[in-house]
Structure 1
Amino acid sequence: MIDYPFPIGKPSRKDFLRGAALTALLPLLPQISRAEAERIGVLEIAPGIFVHVGKYQLVNKANRGDISNPCCIVGSEAAAVIDTSGSFAMGSDLHAAIKQITDKPIRYVINTHMHPDHVMGNAAFKASNLEFVGHYKLPAALYARKESYLANARERLGEAAFKGTEIIPPTVLVKDTLELDLGRRVLTLKARPTAHTDNDLTIHDQPTGTFFLGDLLFSGHIPTLDGSIVGWLKLIPELMQEKAERAVPGHGPKSMTWPDAILPVQRYLTVLATDVRKMIKDGKTLEQAVATAAQSERDKWALFDEHNPRNVTAAYTELEWE
């Protein structure tokens, strides 16, 4: 069943307005059964909001880059896609699924950040008359990594899934806050300071109170650090002030309770920063830090051994200059 976002207890004026907006929108939204949603690989988490749940794996030929959570939001006039998965093949499957959900045109593809498992499916949407939207630092980040991203994707995905994959930069840039109207449904996009990356973008669906965080929120899958551990830890309390009925992680289940969902991420990053700072203070080398930092978190996360060494390296390189 869908968790409809009508508030419990005494509603505020904002709750009334949001409830009224959703009530007006509901008759205009697609009706799809759970069985049909599962058949086409998406799950409806709130009225008109659909999420495909990626696997807790590294990119490989078998999964075709299907390791993150792309989403679709449908309004009365148009739809928006949030992230497009990790290959042209996966992006094409997502596009086909959305066409089965709604006949509304896709007006926007929104990328939450630069990582290949979130942007490599963009090319599957480029023939449509739509805008690609991202953080104002996203074009430079993609340009700097374009050749390595494509080479790594070709090698890991294999030619069948990779064919057609290309880097598509945003045509609409978000420097602070931007609102996108899908018809009786307004999305609020916010460019965030450097944290998971230097180009993180969050999206808030006003009618349902659904908060899309991209890889600022991981669950089960260990967080990965490609920006600033100091910045991420500073940003988390600010994110927690956002009022939302549910959150959608970049990696994890289809939706989570907010703000409790981000507490394990905060814990892991705090442990990582504390351990690395102590090792730097004690004169330990980077190699020693990689071998021991944050090991108390090892049994709490999938893919720990694959990603924690890189996280330690990134944290050590940043914190040694404090």
Structure 2
Amino acid sequence: MSAPGGAARKGRFAPSPTGPLHFGSVVAAVGSYLDARSSGAAWLLRIEDVDVPRCVPGAAEGILRTLERLGLEWDGPVLWQSSRTEVYRAALERLMAAGRVFGCICTRRALADARLARDGTRRYAGTCRDGLPPGRTARAFRLRVEPGCVRFVDRIQGPIEEDVAADVGDFVVLRADGYFAYQLAVVVDDAEAGITDVVRGADLLDSTPRQLLLQRALGLPQPAYAHVPVVTNGAGEKLSKQTLAQAVDGLAPGGVVADALRFLGHPPPAALGGAAPAELLAWAQGIWSLARVPCVRGAPMPGYG
């Protein structure tokens, strides 16, 4: 797939340092890496530590070491979101100047009875859209979302559409605790880095329409998206820190990479049994195709749930 506007293709992996790398994150990393490397594209690494309260000290450094053990070599320096506050602030000011955001005083408690959006967040009913009560100061800032479906074609999951206004409502871009929201940070970072191809877990599929709206509001290019299935445990839950997902640090790296390839529809041949990560990844680059990745949002992987 060619990059928008003839630009050089770039992919990326962007883990959040909320704990050690688990198998679900490895699957996303391997899929992103192979999609880039199989087409000669650069593969960048970004640590998404914008949500500082959720970050675990030392987790980011552990993630870097694990990626190196798995043979996933990135290009250029690592980008840290925590160092980019002023860049996000400039983007917010552009949105303010264009009248695209508004201040909000609503607390989590005030939204507790709102209906759930598809991703489990609470739908915002537009309480503060027309201005704040006299004497009140905004706690957060939200993007003003207009009605209408947002559509895109995912390279794995196919056509996707969502009426963000109806399902989610006006969403937060600057949180009440002063931290910038993931949705804004990821859009700004991808554009500045020149990312043309985003391959990530399907748990982020429902975030993509919001990111498309922000790209349009800021006049930024839209990457091509591909959402690989997330790995689920025996209860059907996505592997995560909250579901006590096992870290891969203590596992044989070649076995982890081979299992990730199997999960992604690219099982290594018997001749590569026991092979090192570099050999497995080199083999996979030669046959990599998103058409072989299962078109499902989630699936179990025995031994990791």
TM-score, normalised on structure 2?
A: 0.23
Greater share of helix: 1
